[in-house]
Amino acid sequence: MGGGRHWLLSATMGLGHDRVIRPLKEGAMDGKVVAIGNEAESSWLERAFLNSTTRFYNFASRQEDRSRLGHFVFETIDRFQRFPDLRPGEDLSTPTVNNRRIDRLLAAGFGAKAFAEIGRRPAPCLSTFYLATQEALRYTELPVYQVVPDAEFNRVYLPSEPRHPRLTNLVACAVAADRMRAYGADPQRLHVTGCPLPLENTGRDGEILRSDHAARTARLSAAGTAPLALMFCIGGAGAQLATAFDLLDQLLPEIREGRYRYVVSCGTNAAVHAAVEKRLARLGLAEPAAGIVHGRTKETYFEAFNAALRATDLLLTKPSELVFYCGLGLPVLLTHPLGHQEFRNQDYLIGTGGGESLDRTRFPAYLREGIRSGRFVERAERGLATGHAQARERILALVHGA
């Protein structure tokens, strides 16, 4: 199974899985991602299941910050995804209702179509989605490596038999490893690798990372005179658009004075892109004072997003997998979490010192204080020290036995 090749597995469930798996495409079989839910690789039943689940969750996410009713609906859905706190020595390995549900789906052949070709061309499987991981374990005899891009997560991320002899878990941080052990994962096949970051932003030898970090910290210093670039990331579901507009409105006078550049990342969502364009036009904002990052496809979006990151000084986002982008030496300022898992990502980031929760009530004053005190420069340094920038190389070395 050598040759430095691997099958790359994900799912058509938003940008998060693809963002994490994209840095690992080098060495992938046929240079592609086998995405559960794609028309060519899934049955109509599988596509309908994933698409309906994704659409429903995305709708609820978009409503969360728009009204009290929307918040209530999202909170109700999120209760089914919550997981218990970790307590030293506690055994959380018992399969849950969600585990049993996946077992029934797999017993019925769910996901088998995508693995017909994989079985004929053996290579290790590298997955960022727990359902794809468990499908690979059921339908192939290949080694499976699962990348988990969250600080903490539900029991469903492991199969009902957590110590599967062909499964190796690659997690982003120490607390994720603790949770894996509590869920029953084999400690001998569990590695803390960090979360893979874009090669465009790290460089093969770290040269890009070091250069961008040095330029960013110079701009963030209290003595800096260049405008600071803020990028607000709207989730793939279009969540927190109202928050992006609220912060923009608060900062508008200082944007017009040339103190800040405000960029909104819209993913591939055409409706969100149109709404942001309309808002910027109404405010009379255009380049270089404001900008939009958008792509018609995921690949064009990621290319634009990673390029924009290099000139970004402060990253504003909910606590998604983007908390690990603190590893680029990029201070991450968090809006309120969407869901139980994101609260745990928030705890992780704050614990590293690579980011913090932003103050939405007095945003301009909050930014001025962070710059004047040097706190944002400190966040950049601590984020860089997390070592996520080296995660890609660690993961590929484990998969290929280097």
Contact 119, 140 (CB under 8 A): yes
Helices (H) and strands (E) in the chain, counts: 16, 12
Residues 163 and 287 in one domain: no
pLDDT at 2 over 50: no
pLDDT at 82 over 90: no
Q: What are phi and psi of 144, to 5 degrees?
A: -125, 130
The CATH number given to whatever domain includes residue 283 is: 3.40.50.2000
Q: Is residue 56 part of a domain?
A: no
What does the alpha-carbon distance between residue 131 and residue 332 come to, in Å, rounded to a whole number? Answer: 29
Residues 138 and 246 in one domain: no
In this prediction, residue 173 carries a pLDDT of 97
Residues 109 and 219 in one domain: no
Residues 227 and 355 in one domain: yes
Residues 221 and 320 in one domain: yes
Q: Is residue 71 part of a domain?
A: no
The CATH number given to whatever domain includes residue 32 is: 3.40.50
Cβ neighbours of 193 (radius 10 Å):
24
Work out the pLDDT band at 196, boundaries 50, 70, 90.
very high
Mutual angle of helices 363-373 and 241-256, in 10-degree steps:
70
Pick the more confident residue, 117 or 379.
379
pLDDT at 71 over 90: no
Domain total of the chain: 2
**Among 231, 248, 254, CA closest to 283:** 248
pTM assigned to the model: 0.89
Which of 39-48, 155-164, 201-210, 337-346 has the weakest average pLDDT? 39-48
Residues 168 and 203 in one domain: no
Q: Is residue 2 part of a domain?
A: no
Residues 381 and 394 in one domain: no
Residues 212 and 185 in one domain: no
Q: Is residue 74 part of a domain?
A: no
Question: What is the overall mean pLDDT for the chain?
Answer: 89
Residues 158 and 281 in one domain: no
Residues 190 and 204 in one domain: no
Q: What is the pLDDT of residues 201-260, one digit of tens each?
A: 999 999 999 999 999 999 998 666 789 999 999 976 677 899 999 999 999 999 999 999
Q: What is the pLDDT of residues 109-150, one digit of tens each?
A: 888 888 888 888 999 999 999 999 999 999 999 999 999 999
Who's near 318: CB < 8 A, 6+ residues apart? Answer: 233, 235, 239, 240, 334, 335, 336, 337, 338, 342
**Among 111, 98, 196, CA closest to 153:** 98
**Which pairing describes strands 290-293 and 332-334: parallel, antiparallel, or unpaired?**
unpaired
The secondary structure element, H or E, covering residue 282 is helix 270-283
Domain that holds residue 107: 7-42+80-194+390-399
